[in-house]
């Protein structure tokens, strides 16, 4: 499969941004929750797989959404280089997130990718279900996401999902998978 760079968009959390490592860092340093590992996050709904009070999970997630944390939000390995190459040659890049607002993501994307801000667009939808409609409006054919349930919604809407493998999406499915940004780069007709 070779994908036209103009026909693809990306989720941010879990695909570009290593948000779950940030979640774990905040849990360790701010809440003294030291026994949880990345591999323990076996489902997207954290309350279903982590032995943490739901109110603590909500507090950590709210801090992440608002940018209220000291630990760094790191990119997924390889994402900045591939996206910089893609954006500088074929920009603008489109990111569609289920976050209700882009908040600190705007600055983080600009700093991480080192691209002119006019070469990136972040569209917050407020829900996973709203992503497909945005992608259809923008005539995007491929979308890279880490949430398995979202991939089903995209497929129903006629958008080809590409599942970015993570511990929380390891259930049987029929979607095309990538496990790294190196693999995404190989899919793009650069």
Containing 124, the helix (H) or strand (E) segment is strand 120-124
What pLDDT is recorded for position 58? 96
Rounded Cα distance between 128 and 24, Å, is 22
What pLDDT is recorded for position 183? 96
Distance between terminal CA atoms of the chain?
A: 13
Closest CA to 10 of 89, 97, 86: 97
What pLDDT is recorded for position 155? 98
Tell me the pLDDT of the chain averaged across its residues: 95
Would you give the DSSP letter of residue 8?
Answer: E
Categorize the per-residue pLDDT at 181 as very low, low, confident or very high, splitting at 50, 70 and 90.
very high
Tokens (6 digits) for 34: 């030291």
What pLDDT is recorded for position 131? 97
* Residue-level length of the chain: 190
pLDDT in tens, 96-138: 999 999 889 999 999 999 999 999 999 999 999 999 999 999 9
Residue with token string 């959390």: 13
Categorize the per-residue pLDDT at 1 as very low, low, confident or very high, splitting at 50, 70 and 90.
confident
Residues in Cβ contact with 183 at an 8 Å cutoff, skipping those fewer than 6 apart: none
What pLDDT is recorded for position 106? 92
The answer to whether residue 10 scores a pLDDT higher than 80 is yes
What pLDDT is recorded for position 128? 94
Strand order in the sheet with 142-145: 120-124, 93-97, 8-10, 142-145, 160-164, 176-178
Rounded Cα distance between 151 and 165, Å, is 12
The answer to whether residue 72 scores a pLDDT higher than 80 is yes
Categorize the per-residue pLDDT at 141 as very low, low, confident or very high, splitting at 50, 70 and 90.
very high
For range 3-29, the mean pLDDT:
96
Closest CA to 25 of 15, 33, 14: 33
What pLDDT is recorded for position 103? 84
For range 77-103, the mean pLDDT:
95
């Amino acid at each position: 499969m070779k994908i036209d760079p103009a026909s693809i968009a990306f989720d941010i959390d879990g695909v570009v941004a290593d948000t779950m490592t940030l979640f774990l860092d905040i849990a360790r340093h701010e809440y003294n929750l030291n026994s949880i590992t990345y591999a323990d996050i076996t489902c997207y709904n954290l309350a279903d797989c982590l032995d943490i009070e739901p109110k603590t999970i909500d507090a950590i997630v709210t801090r992440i959404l608002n940018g209220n944390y000291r630990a760094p939000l790191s990119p997924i390995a390889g994402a900045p280089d591939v996206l910089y190459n893609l954006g500088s040659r074929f920009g603008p890049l489109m990111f569609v997130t289920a976050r209700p607002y882009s908040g600190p993501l705007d600055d983080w994307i600009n700093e991480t990718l080192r691209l002119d801000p006019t070469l990136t667009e972040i569209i917050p939808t407020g829900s996973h279900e709203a992503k497909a409609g945005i992608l259809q409006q923008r005539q995007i054919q491929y979308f890279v996401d880490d949430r398995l349930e979202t991939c089903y919604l995209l497929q129903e809407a006629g958008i080809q999902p590409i599942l970015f493998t993570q511990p929380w999406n390891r259930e049987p499915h029929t979607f095309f998978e990538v496990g790294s940004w190196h693999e995404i780069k190989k899919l793009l007709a650069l």
